[in-house]
């Protein structure tokens, strides 16, 4: 009994040490992990270029240029749509002021706090201009530095990918090298599948949200469709945030309740199609983690690394599941993280639906 308790205490201590290490080294690990996952996306393209005689260093550079082009295209697309939204800033500002006055009157009538007292409270809570400028400059500097690091990691990870693979194989015993090779292959594949699937998912969401918002007559419908689609990189939270912003801005434009309800209905419909059709068809079973551990991974990711942690939570958890599935002592944890196998009669229809979607995906 004492040995068991000691073993449990050691495991708990190890978990806390790992978490502390992740928090302490986040400035180093976040760009490295994001760069590693992005690098796996370009491995097939790099292999294709090398197959036709292009030197490895040039193939890695072409992949890097392709990534920069894609990122620049997304930024340009958002900037273009935001420029259109800026034309309505004055109207939105006026609506916000009007809503603020109504809120102040409500607080005065129901809580007895005068407008002057509310203004004093707000002034006390507002940060100074110098602190805002300092935080903004620090954030921009950090963003540029991390972006340069990320691009450097993508290039060198692509160039040295075989060298890194051989390193991991040398870590394993000769009898386990084949299994280590399978783990590396599956981990790379699941990262590729996640990123490819996420890209396809975002495009599908753009189309569905664009059609839904345009039919409702939402102002700047395409911008909000693009925003809701891009926020899919943050599972669960992203779509809700995008839809909430769409409802708030549309309400400030003076849209009727029927339109606001329609936006919520579009969100519900898109989520239903995404969860029951797109995810099984596009992402496939290898990336699937059960909803409980998806939420746990997102919460832990946010606590450790903030927003980058939320973005990295799903692919890293999927890779962790693969590692657990291939190590005998960790297989129970892989089973715990994975999806439930449907065995009850009441879930037969759901099982058949998933099997049909998987068959279509294979074809």
Cα separation of 4 and 316, whole Å? 30
pLDDT band at 145 (very low <50, low <70, confident <90, very high): confident
Task: Give residue 108's pLDDT.
Answer: 58
Reply yes or no on whether the pLDDT at 360 is more than 60: no
Asked if the structure places residue 24 within a domain, the reply is no
- Predicted pLDDT of residue 8: 77
Mean pLDDT, range 164-189, rounded to an integer: 88
Q: In this model, does residue 205 exceed pLDDT 70?
A: yes
Instruction: Report the C-alpha gap between 282 and 260 in whole angstroms.
Output: 30
Given 99, 131, 159, the domain boundary residue is 159
Least confident of 81-85, 217-221, 258-262, 328-332: 81-85
Best mean pLDDT range from 8-17, 168-177, 354-363: 168-177
The model's pTM is 0.75
**pLDDT above 70 coverage of the chain, percent:** 74
Q: Are both 201 and 309 inside the same structural domain? A: yes
> Considering the domain boundaries, does residue 143 fall inside one?
yes
Token code pair at residue 98: 């009007």
Q: pLDDT per residue over 28-58, tens digit each?
A: 999 999 999 999 989 999 999 999 889 999 9
Contact assessment for residue 312 and residue 302, using Cβ atoms and an 8 Å cutoff: no
Q: Lowest-confidence range among 8-12, 19-23, 178-182, 285-289?
A: 285-289
For residues 335-348, average pLDDT: 62
Q: Tokens 């551990």 map to which residue?
A: 293
Question: Do both 42 and 99 map to the same domain?
Answer: yes
> Residues 354, 283: one domain?
yes
Q: What is the pLDDT of residues 253-293, one digit of tens each?
A: 778 888 889 999 999 999 888 877 777 777 655 567 877 88
Confidence of residue 125 (pLDDT cuts 50, 70, 90): low
Say what the pLDDT of residue 210 is: 92
Is residue 165 assigned to a domain?
no
Task: Give which of 340, 337, 279, 339 is closest to 313, Cα–Cα.
Answer: 337
Burial 202-215, CB ≥16 within 10 A → b, else e: bebbbebbbebbee
Tell me, yes or no, whether 119 and 260 share the same domain: no
**58-85 residue pLDDT tens:** 999 999 999 999 889 888 877 776 766 6
Tell me the pLDDT band of 343, cut-offs 50, 70 and 90. very low
Residue-level length of the chain: 363
pLDDT at 346: 44
d(CA 354, CA 350): 6
Tell me how far apart the alpha carbons of residues 132 and 119 are, in angstroms, rounded to a whole number: 20
Angle at 340 between CA 336 and CA 344, to 5 degrees: 140
**Between 210 and 136, whose confidence is greater?**
210
Give the CA radius of gyration of the chain: 25
21 in a structural domain: no
Q: Is residue 164 a part of any domain in this protein? A: no
| Domain boundaries, position 321 | 179-363
Decide if 7 is inside a domain.
no
The chain-wide mean pLDDT, for the chain, equals: 80
* 172: in domain: no
Contact criterion met (CB below 8 Å) for 22 and 305: yes
In a domain, 1, yes or no: no
Residues 245 and 353 both lie in one domain: yes
Regarding whether 205 and 347 lie in a shared domain, the answer is yes
At 290-327, the pLDDT tens digits run: 778 888 888 888 889 888 888 888 888 888 888 888 88
Q: Given 159, 193, 226, which residue is the final one in a domain?
A: 159
Span 2-13, mean pLDDT?
72
| Number of domains the chain is built from | 2
Residue 58 has a pLDDT of 95
Tell me which of 99, 126, 159 is where a domain ends: 159
């Amino acid at each position: 009994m004492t040995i068991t308790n000691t073993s449990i205490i050691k495991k708990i201590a190890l978990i806390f040490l790992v978490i502390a290490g992740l928090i302490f080294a986040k400035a180093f690990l976040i760009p490295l992990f994001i760069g590693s996952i992005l690098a796996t996306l370009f491995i097939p393209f790099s292999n294709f270029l090398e197959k036709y005689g292009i030197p490895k260093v040039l193939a890695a550079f072409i992949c890097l240029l392709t990534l920069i082009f894609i990122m620049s295209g997304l930024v340009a697309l958002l900037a273009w749509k935001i420029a259109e939204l800026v034309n309505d800033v004055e109207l939105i500002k006026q609506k916000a002021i009007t809503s603020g006055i109504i809120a102040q009157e409500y607080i005065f009538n129901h809580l007895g706090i005068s407008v002057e007292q509310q203004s004093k409270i707000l002034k006390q809570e507002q940060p100074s201009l110098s602190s805002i400028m300092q935080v903004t400059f620090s954030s921009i500097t950090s963003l540029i530095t991390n972006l340069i690091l990320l691009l450097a990691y993508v290039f060198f990870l692509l160039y040295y990918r075989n060298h890194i693979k051989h390193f991991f194989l040398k870590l394993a015993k000769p009898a386990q090298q084949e299994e280590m090779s399978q783990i590396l292959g599956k981990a790379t594949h699941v990262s590729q599948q996640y990123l490819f699937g996420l890209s396809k998912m975002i495009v599908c969401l753009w189309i569905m949200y664009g059609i839904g918002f345009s039919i409702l007559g939402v102002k700047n419908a395409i911008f909000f469709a693009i925003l809701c689609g891009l926020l899919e990189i943050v599972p669960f939270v992203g779509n809700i945030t995008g839809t909430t912003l769409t409802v708030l801005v549309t309400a400030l434009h003076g849209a009727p309740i029927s339109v606001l309800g329609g936006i919520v209905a579009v969100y519900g419909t898109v989520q239903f199609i995404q969860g029951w059709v797109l995810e099984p068809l596009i992402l496939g079973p290898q990336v699937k983690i059960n909803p409980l551990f998806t939420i746990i991974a997102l919460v832990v990711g946010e606590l450790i690394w903030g927003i980058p942690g939320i973005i990295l939570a799903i692919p890293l958890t999927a890779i962790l599941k693969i590692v657990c599935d291939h190590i005998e002592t960790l297989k129970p944890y892989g089973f715990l993280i994975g999806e439930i196998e449907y065995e009850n009669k009441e879930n037969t229809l759901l099982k058949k639906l998933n099997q049909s979607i998987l068959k279509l995906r294979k074809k």
